Structure formats: structure tokens, C-alpha cells
Amino acid sequence: MNKHHSANPAGPHGPTVAPLRAQARDGASAHGQAAATTAVTTATTAAGVQRVRPAAAPDHEAVAASAGGVLLKAVGLKKDYHKGKHVVPVLRGVDLEVRQGELLAVIGQSGSGKSTLLHLLATLDRPDEGEIWFNGQRIDNASTRQRDRLRNRHLGMIFQFYHLLPELTALENVLAPLMITHGFFSYRLQRRRLVERAKALLETVGLGHRLKHRPREMSGGEMQRAAIARALITEPQILLADEPTGNLDGRTGQGIMELLRSLNTQSNLTIVMVTHDSAIASQADRVVQLVDGQVSDS
Amino acid sequence: MYKFLLCWRYLRTRWIALASIISVTLGVATMIVVNAVMAGFTQEMQDRIRGILSDVSFEARSFNGFRDPEYHMREIEKIVGDEIEVMTPTVTVPAMLSFQLHGEWNTRPVQLIGIPRDAMQYASKFRQYLQHPKHREQFRFELQETGYDLRDRHGGEDAPLRVRMETAGMVHRRNMIEYRRQWEQQLAGKPLPHAEQTVNDDSQPANDVVDPFAAVERPLDPFAARNDAAQADPAAPLTGCVLGIGLVSYRHNGAEHFLVLPGDDIQLTFPTAGTPPKAVSDTFTVVDLYESKMTEYDSSFIFVPLDKLQELRGMFDRESGTTFVTSIQIKLKDESRGSIVRDKLQAAFPPHFYSVSTWRDKQGPLLAAVEMETAILNMLLFLIIAVAGFGILAIFFMIVVEKTKDIGILKSLGAHGSGIMGIFLSYGLSLGLVGAGAGMVLGLLFVRHINEIRIWLGNLTGQMVFDPSIYYFYEIPTSVNPWTVAWIVIGALAIAVAASVMPALRAARLHPVEALRYE
């Protein structure tokens, strides 16, 4: 497996992140650029064990196909949980490829390990076995600092329970990743510009009127939109969504799905979404089913 | 950046954390107050001791003293001449004080000090402690007509009145002689048709104020009467002496009462310089009282003219015309060089005949005791702050547990462990700053208004909080050393930060996935 990637012309450091240049504002122009800069080898498709569901969204498939390159790849991921003396295997060798620009849904029952898989992909946890490659770089064994940096700048995450910081307003929550990126003085210097960007992003997700509100003053849908804005503020290459509609009623959840869809099409944002809801999953370009810690071929 | 923002928000939304630092505040405030009072006390005491004792004293080991003080002073001058401001030869000898009260003789042990008649040259602040304003300017062992301080001049208007002090001096002396004369006449059985008028006509309106028991208090002194009779002018004072005020005064119902007033005669008994020593006695007239506010000295010192004491003790050599003294008091230009001067003199003079000591050496045990007391108090109070540290630790742990999810979120956003740790460390530092800062302000305010607080507390509880009659201070002395305050605040800050290290480390080490799952 390594061979493919060590042959990557971009070298061990990989291509520098293709920022989705203000994807919320001029997504169309960014589309082509992002696709071009992340032109990783396509040969890995041979390893594909994913079950593609072409019927789900035929027009979207074209987008995924046009993107082509593999952005994120998991090979033979294994992860056990230890509860006292008992070892509970969660992932038993998962192979997964995420192509540039696609909206991929990972569907599975509770306990199938889909959240664990997402955490591994997001470098929040380390696999017991297997490898994760992002942009041609192996990230599962990177140092903690490198992984923190990766999460901060190149990965966006949203969660079922939104996970906004309760002490901060919507605007501050969105700015939080930038505050982590920049030191005190660097942030103070660029503050005006960064705040403008956050405001524009909140505007895009439909929260222009909620800038100064604390999470507890917002509805579930609004909180999830704020969380999406926060995930996108650093212009990541990929958005990892853990049950993004899991805690929302049908209509609100659909609104979130539409937002994700539009981000995907307009900004060519690659999205990996974990869900147990097949109705939600069916809106993805491609669906991977996880059963008992393995990708199911059924 | 997020560290400061979150730290600030946690501070503003978690007032309970402030409760944990109230103990730090109180600890810091108490430490500042205790240190200020102890330092004030020490300083005041040192000032007093320094005023009483000379910087360096050069003493004979024997009561017989050493011969020829002029020669010794020349020798000392040769060794450390450029350090010395003034030298005074003195004689110090234990003695017994006797005075009559209600016809009974009172006897007390005292320390008799012979100083030159021209006390201008005496190497201490001796004159400052006298009770007559003229004597504080110039003192020659002479009795003043009247005008001795009616109140303790350090106590201000509130100081207790000194009973019968308004007649002290020559006026009192003449009164007493007149009383005795009348008393003797009465004893002799002669009629006294206008006895009362005679007294009242005796040119002092002050007599009306004198308490009516005065006459009873000092009735007959057959010895004094005989002495008086022997003199041409019965009222002429004898050799002057200065009594420590504590020897002859007591406080009763808030007023200072005196057993002996300036103008009275007293008897002193002390050993001669010969071998074996014999007791000699002589009568002196009290010309002033000595109040240094150091009870130890005020209740033991009696000063008499040096030449008179030398004469009575036989401390002179007729053949060579030289005198003896027991010590030479040295005042230095720079007090801090006392131990250097002492060491040089110790090296130059045979130590089995002479002992050389600085005032610090003499009061070493007292100063060391106060220092020890301060050190122990500081240690105890610092332990209180340290205990407060554990309170901070507990509350911080709770906050970290409460914020577990936030920590997970921050980590998922790419915050590094050190950054998370920074949040809680700066949180601890901010709390420490608030606590120590508030404590500092509180402590300094308390020190500044300590005497108002003392009076207020006294009024509130109806009990004297700081009785000046016990401490001989009219106000609680304080002295704030900026360095002490700085060290206390830094110490408190360090404890607050140290207490937040463990919770902060725990926060930094939280596993992001587990933290996110935490409910």
C-alpha cells in the first residue's frame, strides 16, 4: 500500500493544503483549483471495497467522479476498546477511500464503530493497527503536535451534539479555531479581518442574526449551523460530520443536509458523514456500510 | 489567544472559584498586618533601645572599674578614632533606692549610672527622655522651679493626667518643707492658730488642686528634717539625680500617680570600690524623671553625676590624681559599623579585663525573640495560605471535570495540550492575582487604619483592645516594608499557580475522544 503513496509526486510533505479560498463566497472558482492541486494518484481505486450506491444521487455522482483524486484513505484500521479485562473489538480492519470533492456517507447501526472510525480519521484517536493517509501523507503515526495542527487547519469536524463552547457567543465559537491557530498578538493584529470572515461565514449558514448569542440561546439547528461555520472557518479540505442530524427533527435535519450539500457542490468541499439514518445517507454521493467493525460488501 | 478569552470567561462565569481564594486574600492580608505590626514593634523597640544604650560600650569586667578613662579614650581614639562621634566615661553600679512613703521606708534595687554633669556629651538620647522641657534642651542635674510635663508628651491630649505633677519642682520641695515644719511644731505641742492659711498663702494657687491626701501621704521624715535643719537654706536642693519613671509611678483609674516627685529627696545605697566593698549611702534630690518607654530600663535606672558617684565610691587615686570608671560609652558616626568597631577594640584590649559590646549584643536575646516570633508567625500564616492552596486545588479539579467536554472540543479543534494547560494555569494565576491583590489592599488599609480599628473595636466590645498602660505605646506601631509585601504576594501567587498545576495537567492529558463523550 505504501508504494502508491511514496510514489506520490508531491513528496513526503504532500501538496500544501489547497485552501478553499473563501469557499463560501466564490465556491465555483475554487472548485477547479482545489481539484487540480490535490491531484493525488488515482491508482488506489483498485483497492476500493466501497459499495457505491449510484441510485442515491445520480447527478452528484458526476461531481464525485470528476473530482477523482483520493483525499483521505484508511487501510486495515483496527481498534479495540478495553473495559477492564475484556477487550471489545470495535474496528476489525476497515479500508476506506474518500475522494476529493465527494460527499461520502458511512452508515451503520449503533456500535458498528462508525463514530470510532470518524475519530480515527480525524486524528482524535490512534488506531491499534492500520494506516491513515491524508493528502498523500501518513497521519495516524504523526506526532501529537502535527496532528493538532492538522485538525486545526485542514480538517473540519461537526458533531451530533454540536459541541459549541457554552461560554462563547456564536461568533466567538466560529473564531475559536483561528484563535487556536494564531497567538495572542498575531490574532489581535488580524482580528478585524478574521471577524469579518467569521461574520460572512455565519451569514452563509444563515446565522447572520445570531452573532452575539450564546449556544444556550439558540435552537438545535442553529447550533449545528454555527458548528458548521466553525468547522469551515479555517478553510479545511475535508469536513468530518458525526451524525450531524442525529439530534435534530426531520425538517431541521434536512435543512442541515441541504447546507452540507450546497457546501459540497458550490465549494467542492469533501464531506465524510457518519449516520445511522439511511434517509440521510441516501442523499450522499456514495454510501459505505459498516457492520461489526468492517465495511460490508452487501 | 483562546486561552485568555476562555480563562476570562471562566473567571466571569464562575464566581464560586473566587470563594476559594478568599482564604488566600485573608491569609495575605493577615500576613501583611502581622508583619507590619511586628516590624513596627521591632523598629520602635530598637529605636528606644538605641536611644538608651550607646552604639558600643567599652566596659570593665569588675565593678571597681579601670583607672584613667582619659588614657583609655586616647587609646580607643587611636584604634577607631575616625568612626567615633563622641565618647562618655560612665560608672554603673547596682544600688538600693530608699524613699519614704506614709512614714514607711521603701527600698528597691536599682541600677545606678554616673554620667558627666554636662550631659550634653552623653553618648545617647538620654536628655530626650526627661520630663522637663528645659532639661530636654540642656541638663545639669538642677531642680527646676516647676513646669514638668503634666501628661506623657507622646500620648497627646488623651494621655492620663499626672497626679500632683503641676507642683513638682522647687514649689513642691518648699511645700514639703513647710508641711514638715508645721508637723514638727504640732508634735512639739505648740499651737498652730492659722496653719491652713499659712499653707494657702504660700504663693501657689496650684495648691487648691493638690489632692487633700497629699498631706497624709507624706507626713514626717525625721531624717530629712534633720538634714534640712543642718543647711542654711532648708529648701536648697542636694545633689541631683534622675529616677526611672517606673520606679516611683503607678497607674490607677487611668491616671498616673507618683510616689516620688521631682523636688523630693531619696536615699541611695551602693558598694564602694574597695575590697571588700562596703555600703555607702547618700541623699539626693530628684530633679527629673526618666521615661524611655522601655519598662526594663524605666524601672531600674537612676542617673547621678559622675564625679559625685566617683567621690562616694572612692574611685579616684589621690596620688596620681586619676579617676576610675566602669565603662566608656561610644557613639559612632555610623551605627551600622558597630560590630566592626567592637571587633577592633576586642582585639586591642585584653579581653579578661574589658568587655566590648554593641547595643545589639546587649539586647540580643530580646531582638532575637522578636525575630523568632515574627518568623514563626510568618510560617504559620504561610501555612494558612498553603491550606488555601488545597482549596484552590479542589475547586480547580471540579472546574476541570465540569469543563471536560469543552476540553475535548478544543482538542478536536486542534488545541494542543499545552494550550489547554495554559487556560487553567492562567486561570489560577488570575485568581491568585485577584486574591493576593485584594489581600494586599485589605492588609495595607488595615495597617493604615489600625489605630482607628483598635479604638472602634474597643468601643464595640467595651474592652480596651490595646491597653497603653500595659504596652507603654499609645498607638500600635506599624512599619510596612515593600519587600515583605512583595514577597508575601509573590508567595501567594506561587501557591495559587502551584495549586492549579495538577488540575491543568489533568486537563491537558485528557483524551479528546473520552472528553467529547463525557456527559
- Return the pLDDT at A43: 35
> What is the spatial distance between Cα A33 and Cα B449, in angstroms, rounded to a whole number?
74
The CA distance from A183 to the nearest CA of chain B, in Å, is 5
The 10s digit of each residue's pLDDT in B79-134 is 888 888 888 888 999 999 999 887 788 899 999 999 888 755 565 677 888 888 88
Q: Give the one of B413, B417, B513 whose C-beta lies nearest to A180's C-beta.
A: B413
Given a cut of 90, whether residue B163 has pLDDT beyond it is no
Cα(B11)–Cα(B433) distance, integer angstroms? 12
Assess B15–A contact: CB distance below 8 Å, yes or no: no
User: What is the pLDDT, as a whole number, of residue B468?
Assistant: 63
CA dist list (Å): A198 to A24, A219, B7, B290, B421:
11, 20, 22, 82, 26
As to burial, measured by CB atoms within 10 angstroms (0-12 exposed, 13-18 middle, 19+ buried), residue B352 is exposed
Which residue, among A197, A156, A151, A154, has the nearest Cα to A38 in the 3D structure? Answer: A154
Give the DSSP letter of residue B262: B
**B371-382 average pLDDT score:** 88
Q: Which set of grid coordinates corresponds to residue A281?
A: 445517507
| Residue A208 C-alpha, separation from nearest chain B C-alpha, in angstroms | 22
A163, closest residue in chain B (CA to CA): B409
Task: Kindly compute the dihedral angle of the four CA atoms of residues A205, A210, A215, A217, in this order, to the nearest 10 degrees.
Answer: -130
| A150-173 mean pLDDT | 89
Contact B130, B113 (CB under 8 A): no
Q: Cβ(A289)–Cβ(A295) under 8 Å?
A: yes
Cα gap B8→B225, rounded to integer Å? 87
Question: What does the angle CA B28 – CA B29 – CA B35 come to, to the nearest 5 degrees?
Answer: 85
Nearest CA in chain A to B4: A184
Distance separating alpha carbons of residues B358 and B331, to the nearest angstrom: 10
Q: What is the per-residue pLDDT for A271?
A: 92
Statement: residue B444 has pLDDT above 90: yes
The answer to whether the Cβ–Cβ distance between A159 and B419 falls below 8 Å is: no
The position carrying cell 493604615 is B448
Indicate yes or no: CB of A119 within 8 angstroms of CB of B513.
yes
Residues of B in contact with A177 (CB under 8 A): 413-414
Partner B contacted by A144 (CB < 8 A): yes
Angle, to 10 degrees, between the axis of helix B16-52 and the axis of helix B417-448? 40
CA atoms within 13 A on the CB side of B217: 15
* Phi–psi pair at B196, nearest 5 degrees: -60, -45
Task: Give residues 235 to 264 of A whose Cβ lies within 8 Å of B.
Answer: none
Q: Answer yes or no: is pLDDT of B426 > 70.
A: yes
Asked if A254 and A219 touch (Cβ cutoff 8 Å), the reply is no
State how far the alpha carbon of A119 is from the alpha carbons of A151, A291, B115, in Å: 11, 17, 94
Work out the minimum CA distance from B42 to partner chain A, whole angstroms. 48
Question: Looking at chain B, how many residues does it have?
Answer: 519
Q: What's the whole-number mean pLDDT along residues A229-235?
A: 89
Q: What is the reported pLDDT for B156? A: 67
A148 CB neighbours in chain B (<8 A) are 411, 414-416
A291 touches B: beta carbon within 8 Å: no
CB B160 within 8 A of CB B256: yes
Q: Tell me how far apart the alpha carbons of residues B277 and B271 are, in angstroms, rounded to a whole number.
A: 5
- What is the helix (H) or strand (E) element at residue A105, kind and residue range? strand A103-108
Nearest to A67 by CA among A94, A100, A36, A90: A100
Put simply, the answer to whether A168 touches B9 (Cβ < 8 Å) is yes
**Tens digits of residue pLDDT in A128-141:** 989 999 888 888 88
Q: Give the number of other Cβ atoms within 10 Å of residue B481's Cβ.
A: 13
Among the partner-chain residues B9, B406, B414, the one whose CB lies closest to the CB of A149 is B414
CA B151 distance to own-chain centroid: 19
With pLDDT > 70 as the criterion, what percentage of chain B qualifies? Answer: 87
What confidence tens digit (pLDDT) does each residue in A261-283 have? 988 888 889 999 998 888 888 88
> Looking at A153-162, B12-21, B287-296, B431-440, which range is the least confident one?
B12-21
φ, ψ of residue A113 to 5 degrees: the values are 95, 15
**Residue among B5, B414, B516 minimizing CB distance to A177:** B414
Distance CA B503, CA B159 (A): 57
Contact B291, B298 (CB under 8 A): yes
Q: What is the value of pTM for the model shown?
A: 0.68
The letter for the amino acid at B307 is D
3-class DSSP state for residue A155? Answer: strand
Backbone angles phi, psi at B321, to 5 degrees: 75, 15
- Residue B184 reports pLDDT greater than 90: no
ipTM of the complex: 0.76
As a whole number, the mean pLDDT across chain A is 77
- The per-residue pLDDT for B469 is 59
Local confidence band at A88 (pLDDT 50, 70, 90 cut-offs): confident
**What pairs with residue B114 in β-bridges?**
B91, B304
Q: How confident is the model at residue B8 (pLDDT cuts 50, 70, 90)?
A: confident
More confident call, A6 vs A82 = A82
Task: Quote the CA–CA distance of B96 and B284 in Å, as a whole number.
Answer: 13
Which pLDDT belongs to residue B417? 87
A166 contact B CB<8A: yes
What are the angstrom distances between the C-alpha of B176 and each of B52, B171, B224?
A: 32, 9, 10
Mutate which of B1, B509, B516 to disrupt the A interface (most A C-beta within 10 Å)?
B1
What average pLDDT does the structure give for chain B? 82
Chain B residues with beta carbon closer than 8 angstroms to that of A145 = 416
Chain B positions in Cβ-Cβ contact with residue A146 (cut-off 8 Å)? none
Domains of chain A: 2-15+22-154+236-295 (3.40.50.300)
> Torsion-angle region of residue A96: left (phi > 0), alpha (psi -120 to 50) or beta?
beta
Q: Is the dihedral of CA A168, A172, A175, A181 positive or negative?
A: negative
pLDDT at B29: 92
Could you list the beta-strand ranges (E) of B237-334.
Answer: 240-244, 249-252, 255-258, 265-271, 279-290, 301-305, 324-325, 327-332
pLDDT on residue A8: 42
How far apart CA B77 and CA A43 sit, in angstroms, is 105
Whether the link from the prior residue into B212 is cis, omega within 30° of 0, is no
Is residue A39 over pLDDT 80? no
**Hey, what's the cell of B151?**
501628661
SS (H, E, C) B174-189: HHHHHHHHHHHHHHCC
Sign of the four-CA dihedral A257, A263, A264, A269: negative
What distance in Å separates residue B510's CA from the closest CA in chain A?
11
| pLDDT band per the 50, 70, 90 thresholds, residue B193 | low
Closest CA relative to residue A154, chosen from A37, A284, A258: A37
| Spatial contact of B502 and B393, defined as CB atoms under 8 Å apart | yes
- φ/ψ of A103, rounded to 5, equals -110, 105
pLDDT in tens, B333-364: 888 888 889 998 988 898 888 999 988 888 88
In chain B, the percentage of residues whose pLDDT exceeds 90 is 14
CA dist A15 and B31 (Å) reads 62
Segment (H or E) for B438: helix B417-448
Phi, psi (degrees; rounded to nearest 5) at B164: 65, 10
pLDDT at B387: 85
Euclidean distance between CA atoms B316 and B307, whole angstroms: 10
> Which chain A residues are within 8 Å of B422, Cβ to Cβ?
none
Euclidean distance between CA atoms A91 and A176, whole angstroms:
32
> Rounded to an integer, what distance in angstroms lies between the CA atom of residue B187 and that of residue B455?
53
The percent of residues in chain A predicted with pLDDT above 70, rounded, is 77
Residues of B in contact with A163 (CB under 8 A): 405, 408-409, 412, 516
Calpha distance B144→A123 (Å, rounded): 98
How big is the CA angle at B107 (ends B104 and B112), to the nearest 5 degrees?
A: 145
- The phi and psi torsions of B513 (rounded to 5 degrees) equal -65, -45
- B5 vs A: CB within 8 A: yes
Alpha-carbon Rg for chain B in angstroms: 33
In 3D space, the residue among B341, B328, B351, B338 whose CA is nearest the CA of residue B80 turns out to be: B341
Which residues of chain B does A226 touch, with a Cβ-Cβ cutoff of 8 Å? none
A67 has a pLDDT exceeding 60: no
